[in-house]
Amino acid sequence: MRTLKFLLRKEFKQIFRDKGLLPLIFIMPMIQLLVMPLAANFDVKNVNVAIVDHDHSTYTQQLVNKIGASGYFRIANYSDSYKEALHLVEHEKADIILEIPQNFERNLIRENNQKVFLAADAINGVKGSIGSAYLTTVLTDFNSDVRLKWVQPQRLGAVSTIGIDYSNWFNPLMDYHKFMVPAILALLVTMVGGFVAALNIVREKEIGTIEQINVTPIKKWEFILGKMIPFWLIGIFDFTLGLLIARFVYGIIPVGSIATLYLFVSVYMIALLGFGLLVSTYSSNQLQAMFVAFFFMMIFILMSGLFSPVENMPQWAKVISNLTPVTHFVEVMRMIVLKGSTFANIKKQFFIEIIFAVVLNSWAIWNYRKTS
């Protein structure tokens, strides 16, 4: 235990003297949390619509106004040439083309039936598909307006429609900040903890001080624990700072218990640092450790359900996703912060993290060789 005291004292002195490490630990995560949630927004807005109008009637005017007033679209162009509109799509000035045929108004009133043509640029898949879905909604809406005005009530009675009322639980306004901030907080704790730990032991290898450590009677677990405790504290500190930013900048107050949240983060940090130290024990220099850690971090982050739901992944990807500690952490963050899940609800994830923590750390201690 006395050995551990000296190790910790040394480790803390070195961390606070490392001018390169301090901003990485304390400033970078804050900037990320302040900038990323603003950018990572899946709301599709500002869809550029090019309207090709061959009719030029009062109705087309009303339709165009309605589209413009919906708040999601910008009328990029209004013309009667499809070619011109396509040209705009090719130059990425428009995302969707709405073509209104000739005699639109006449056919709609006389024959009760008229088709319009909608073409979406699918290069940006999300904008294309969600944009055309929105536009369809606007058209449906327009459709029922027309019906109300022109179609005879007795004839309308023959058609029954089902109306839908929505309710979004746990995030009533579908505010993406609420959804993304807890996940990004999870992400940055992961980035800081993982990289800093991965670079640490290997740094001692690179400058040669590890030889001097290995020739002392120090125990392997003491050495690993001496490396882990400081970074664990830094992780918890960053997490706290992140919660404060979430509270005061984004107004997000965890619905669930803060104690449960910290309990989970504590175990998660041990698992994550175990991963970092493991990478460190396998690498022979910092560059190598950085690339290996980066490779795994990318997989962890992209497959964690942070940006795309795990449920949408193919079966094999789900398996990989569940084999990363980050996935369960992101899930639990959202559950506790947004939904107010209790410990009973997250028990499964909690035990999975304990398994990660035990396996990764035992592996790191085993793989750290004082005698090679």
Partner 1 sequence: MEEKAIICKDLTKQFGDFVAVNKISFEVDSGEIFGFLGANGAGKTTAMRMLCGLSFPSSGEATVAGFNVFNQQEKIKRNIGYMSQKFSLYENLSILENIEFFGGIYGLSDRQLKEKGEELVNTLRLQKEAKKMVGELPLGWKQKLAFSVAIIHKPKIVFLDEPTGGVDPITRRQFWDLIYKAADDGITVFVTTHYMDEAEYCNRISIMVDGRIDALDTPTNLKKQFSAETMNDVFYELARGAKRSDN
Residue 21 burial (C-beta neighbours within 10 Å; 0-12, 13-18, 19+): middle
Closest CA to 194 of 322, 13, 364: 364
- Of 1-9, 62-70, 267-275, 336-344, the window that binds partner 1 (rule: CB under 8 A) is 1-9
Among 38, 136, 211, 240, binds partner 1 (CB under 8 A): 211
CB closer to partner 1 out of 223 and 264: 223
By CB under 8 A, tell whether 10 contacts partner 1: yes
By CB under 8 A, tell whether 212 contacts partner 1: yes
Q: Which two tokens stand for residue 270?
A: 């041990």
Site for partner 1 in 18-37 (CB under 8 A): 18
CB of 291 to partner 1, least distance (A): 24
Based on C-alpha coordinates, what's the Rg of the chain?
28
Measured CA to CA, the distance from residue 27 to residue 63 in angstroms comes to 50
By CB under 8 A, tell whether 286 contacts partner 1: no
By CB under 8 A, tell whether 3 contacts partner 1: yes
By CB under 8 A, tell whether 285 contacts partner 1: no
Q: Which two tokens stand for residue 28?
A: 């970078």
**Secondary structure letter of residue 101 according to DSSP:** P
By CB under 8 A, tell whether 365 contacts partner 1: no
Among 38, 148, 174, 215, binds partner 1 (CB under 8 A): 215
Closest CA to 189 of 225, 227, 237: 237
CB closer to partner 1 out of 217 and 314: 217
Measured CA to CA, the distance from residue 363 to residue 359 in angstroms comes to 6
By CB under 8 A, tell whether 1 contacts partner 1: no
> How many of the chain's residues bind partner 1 (CB under 8 A)?
25
CB closer to partner 1 out of 177 and 227: 227
Q: Which two tokens stand for residue 34?
A: 């302040």
Among 1, 207, 259, 344, binds partner 1 (CB under 8 A): 207
Give the count of beta carbons closer than 10 Å to the beta carbon of residue 147. 15
CB of 361 to partner 1, least distance (A): 21
**What is the 3-class SS of 192-259, one letter each residue?**
HHHHHHHHHHHHHHHHCHHHHHHCCCCCHHHHHHHHHHHHHHHHHHHHHHHHHHHHHCCCCCCCCCHH
Site for partner 1 in 218-247 (CB under 8 A): 218
CB of 204 to partner 1, least distance (A): 9
- Of 134-142, 310-318, 339-347, 364-372, the window that binds partner 1 (rule: CB under 8 A) is 364-372
Q: Which residues contact 279 (CB under 8 A, 6 or more apart)?
A: 197, 198, 289, 292, 293, 296
Which residues contact partner 1 (rule: CB under 8 A)?
2-3, 5-7, 9-10, 13-14, 17-18, 207-209, 211-218, 370-372
